[in-house]
Amino acid sequence: MSRQCKVAELLRRAALAITQQHHLIVKRRPTFLIALGVVVVAALALLIDHYAFAPKASNPPPSAANVRSCLGTKVLGTGGTSFRYPSCWTLSNYTEETTMTTAVAFLSNQPMHQPCETTRSGISTTVSCGFPVKTLERGGVLVTFIAGGMPGWTIADDTGRHLVVDHHAARETVIRKSNRSLDATTEYWIFIDRGVPDNYYQFDVYFRNPGVSEDQRLLRKMLNSMRIQ
């Protein structure tokens, strides 16, 4: 029998006892009151036990996509370059290389997966890479940090707003349209002159709402913390 049924049965018995003993209250008051007190105490004990030890309803943890920033930060340091990012984000360094670029790191506030697939056909091998996040949820962020190089490349070859990142010339392009594969609402493409001929860093950030001002604030904090040797 469940605790609730036991409580109901005890309370029913108490009510029955009160009815049966009503005409004997004067003659048998002490005995009646003792019996009634025992029943009430037992019922209260069962109620307390039920609510004290019943499983508590728990609220699910917030989605990772709802976590834009944290109180703390971590440092990503690689190849003589470092910058800070929110400590609640996930860092992954899946290997992704082409003849001219190397993916240094991926950052997101959502879970990530291996973005590259290897296909072998006879003696040839093909590697195709996409994004490590299938779709950005509302509030989602994805950062790709790439080291690249191209013969004859200079920062003047890139268009966009002029920036300075740790004394290095940079260009920023803002794309305010949805990325079909990510459902991003805003994209930032930032090219940074590494100070080595023909070489650059590419810092791409994909945001999905809530808003442009918060997107820009997070991006500026990461860029302002960047150190390039």
Q: What is the pLDDT of residues 74-124, one digit of tens each?
A: 999 887 899 999 999 999 877 665 667 788 889 999 999 887 777 888 888
55 pLDDT tier (thresholds 50, 70, 90) = very low
Q: Which domain holds residue 97?
A: 64-228
pLDDT of residue 89: 93
Task: Name the phi and psi angles at 227, rounded to 5.
Answer: -125, 125
> Do 74 and 47 have their domain in common?
no
One-letter identity of residue 122:
G
Mean pLDDT of the region 56-62: 47
Q: Quote the percentage of the chain above a pLDDT of 70.
A: 65
Residues 214 and 108 in one domain: yes
Average confidence (pLDDT) over 27-37: 50
Let me know whether 84 and 132 are in one domain: yes
**Residue 187: enclosing H or E segment and its boundaries?**
strand 186-193
Domain finish residue from 31, 53, 75 = 53
**Higher pLDDT, residue 176 or 92:** 92
Q: Which residue type sits at 203?
A: F
**Domain identity same for 120 and 33:** no
**Number of domains observed in the structure of the chain:** 2
28 pLDDT exceeds 80? no
Q: What is the distance in angstroms between the CA of the first residue and the CA of the last residue of the chain?
A: 73
Cβ atoms of 136 and 113 closer than 8 Å = no
pLDDT, position 216: 86
Per-residue pLDDT at 179: 60
In angstroms, the CA 99 to CA 80 distance is: 21
- In 93-166, at which residue ranges do the beta strands (DSSP E only) sit? 101-108, 116-121, 124-129, 141-149, 161-165
- Greatest mean pLDDT among 3-7, 99-103, 134-138, 166-170 lies in 166-170
In a domain, 27, yes or no: yes
Question: Does a structural domain hold residue 59?
Answer: no
Statement to judge: residues 208 and 108 lie in one domain = yes
Q: 7 or 107: which carries more pLDDT confidence?
A: 107
Band of residue 53 on the pLDDT scale cut at 50, 70, 90: very low
Q: Is residue 146 part of a domain?
A: yes
Enclosing H/E stretch for 86: strand 81-86
Same domain, 152 and 105: yes
Do 76 and 114 lie in a common domain? yes
Please indicate whether residue 71 or residue 77 has the higher confidence score (pLDDT): 77
| pLDDT at residue 82, as a whole number | 93
Domain assignment present for residue 58? The answer is no
Q: Is 147 in the same domain as 207?
A: yes
pTM for the structure as a whole: 0.67
Domain end, chosen from 15, 34, 53, is at 53
| 113 shares its domain with 196 | yes
Residue with the larger pLDDT of the pair 157 and 19: 157
3-state secondary structure 190-206: EEEECCCCCEEEEEEEE
Is the predicted pLDDT of residue 188 greater than 90, yes or no?
yes
CATH number at residue 82: 2.60.120.1690
Average pLDDT, stretch 175-185?
Answer: 77
Residues 14 and 73 in one domain: no
- Determine, yes or no, domain membership for 87: yes
Out of 53, 72, 95, pick the residue that ends a domain.
53
**Is the same domain home to 75 and 27?**
no
Task: Kindly provide the residue ranges of all beta strands, DSSP E only, lying in the chain, ordered along the sequence.
Answer: 73-78, 81-86, 90-92, 101-108, 116-121, 124-129, 141-149, 161-165, 168-175, 186-193, 199-207, 227-228
Residues 211, 141, single domain; the answer is: yes
134 domain-assigned: yes
Question: Which carries the bigger pLDDT value, residue 130 or residue 52?
Answer: 130
Instruction: Look at residue 197 in the predicted model and tell me its pLDDT.
Output: 92
Give 158's DSSP letter: S
pLDDT above 70: residue 212: yes
